[in-house]
Every structure is written in C-alpha cells, then in structure tokens.
Amino acid sequence: MTDWVTEFNKKGYAKFQETELANMIDIEKVDFVFHEERLRDNFKGNLPKEVVEQMELAKTYITQKYIEPLSNDYEFMNYVIWEGVDADSSIWHNDGFEGGNIFFLFYFDDQFPESGGEVEFKWPGEGNIDTYYPKKGDLMLLNQAPGFFHRASKSKIQRRLASFTYFVEGV
Ligand SMILES: [Fe+2]
C-alpha cells in the first residue's frame, strides 16, 4: 500500500503533480473542434496519431504508477481530451454510472481564483469539501464509489484536460 491510498479511500480523491506527463503530451497539436455541449470530447479517433501515441505512453505511465498499487485486477476503459466545462459537470455528480469506478483528470492549463475553473471534491460528512484551482501538470485520481461527488466551474481562460478511466476490481 502506498501512502496516498488511505486519503484516497477516505476523501474519494488524491492529488499529484506530474509535470512529466505535461511534457509527454503535445496538447497544442489537439484541435478542439467540438464546441457543442457534450459533443466536444476528443476520443481516440479524433486525436492526431502522434497525440494518440503520447496518450498511450501516458496511460502506461499512470497505470503502472497509480493503478497497479491499488489492484492487479483492472480494466482500462478510455481516455478523452476536452476543453472547458459543460453544464452537467458544474453540478455535484459522480461519474460511476459511465462504467468506470476510478478515473484520472490531468490538467494542461493553470487556473486562478480571478478567472474561475476550480474543481471541487465532496465526501461523506458535513462540510467535507476541498477546492482547487488546478495547475498545469496536476493529476487528480477520483474514486467513483457511491458517496463521493465532484464538480467543476466554468473558466474565463483556457482549461484543457484529459481523463483516463478504469474499472478496478475491489476498490
Ligand atoms: Fe465528472
């Protein structure tokens, strides 16, 4: 057991800095063509070939570093890159219904209190909320077990991120 797991199980998330991943993925090569609500996600088929290769490397990196310490019984589901915050993500929610029970959020742009774009985490118990203005290189691991919720706020500045979703047995 690594030391972040206790916190992760209690609060439903864990936060890391992974500058290396930001250098690994050439986000400037990604064309954000889908601007309608819920249609803008860039799945594998919509990403340039070189970015797909970089995302595959990133996936291997985070799988080995963060998923395998949790369990060896896991299934990788997908990765997505998007820009902005849609209406559904700005209310408290849990993404477990989409099939994965654990996913990563990886941030490519700094956010600030003056411009918004915060991400918040809520776990069982009165007033249990943590708020962050993500910075480039922040990697958040989210547990989607019932009782854990998150939301994001719209930003006035560029806010690009990637998610990597897994189903991990026994978490
Ligand atoms: Fe979400």
What is the DSSP track for 30-53? ------STTT--B-GGGS-HHHHH
Report yes or no on 75 lying in a domain: yes
Report yes or no on 8 lying in a domain: yes
59 CA → ligand 1 middle, Å: 19
Q: Supply the range of the domain harboring residue 52.
A: 1-25+39-103+131-159
89 CA → ligand 1 middle, Å: 5
Report yes or no on 77 lying in a domain: yes
- Sheet strand arrangement including 102-107: 13-17, 138-143, 102-107, 160-168, 74-83
Return per-residue pLDDT of the chain as tens, 171 residues.
568 999 999 999 999 999 999 999 999 999 886 554 554 566 667 889 999 999 999 999 999 999 999 999 999 999 989 899 988 899 999 998 778 999 999 999 999 999 999 999 999 999 999 999 999 999 999 999 999 999 999 999 999 999 999 999 988
Residues near ligand 1 ion, CB 5 Å cutoff:
95
What pLDDT score was predicted for residue 50?
95
DSSP for residue 69:
T
Q: Tell me the residue length of the chain.
A: 171
Nearest to 157 by CA among 125, 103, 95, 115: 115
98 CA → ligand 1 middle, Å: 10
Q: Which residues contact 4 (CB under 8 A, 6 or more apart)?
A: 14, 16
Q: In whole angstroms, how far apart are CA 121 and each of 12, 16, 98, 147?
A: 8, 15, 18, 11
163 CA → ligand 1 middle, Å: 10
What pLDDT score was predicted for residue 87?
86
Report yes or no on 4 lying in a domain: yes
153 CA → ligand 1 middle, Å: 11
Report yes or no on 138 lying in a domain: yes
93 CA → ligand 1 middle, Å: 6
29 CA → ligand 1 middle, Å: 24
Report yes or no on 66 lying in a domain: yes
Give the chain's domain count.
1
What pLDDT score was predicted for residue 144?
95
- Sheet strand arrangement including 129-132: 129-132, 119-122, 149-152
What pLDDT score was predicted for residue 44?
65
126 CA → ligand 1 middle, Å: 21
Distance CA 85, CA 67 (A): 26
Nearest to 84 by CA among 27, 18, 156: 156
53 CA → ligand 1 middle, Å: 25
Report yes or no on 167 lying in a domain: no
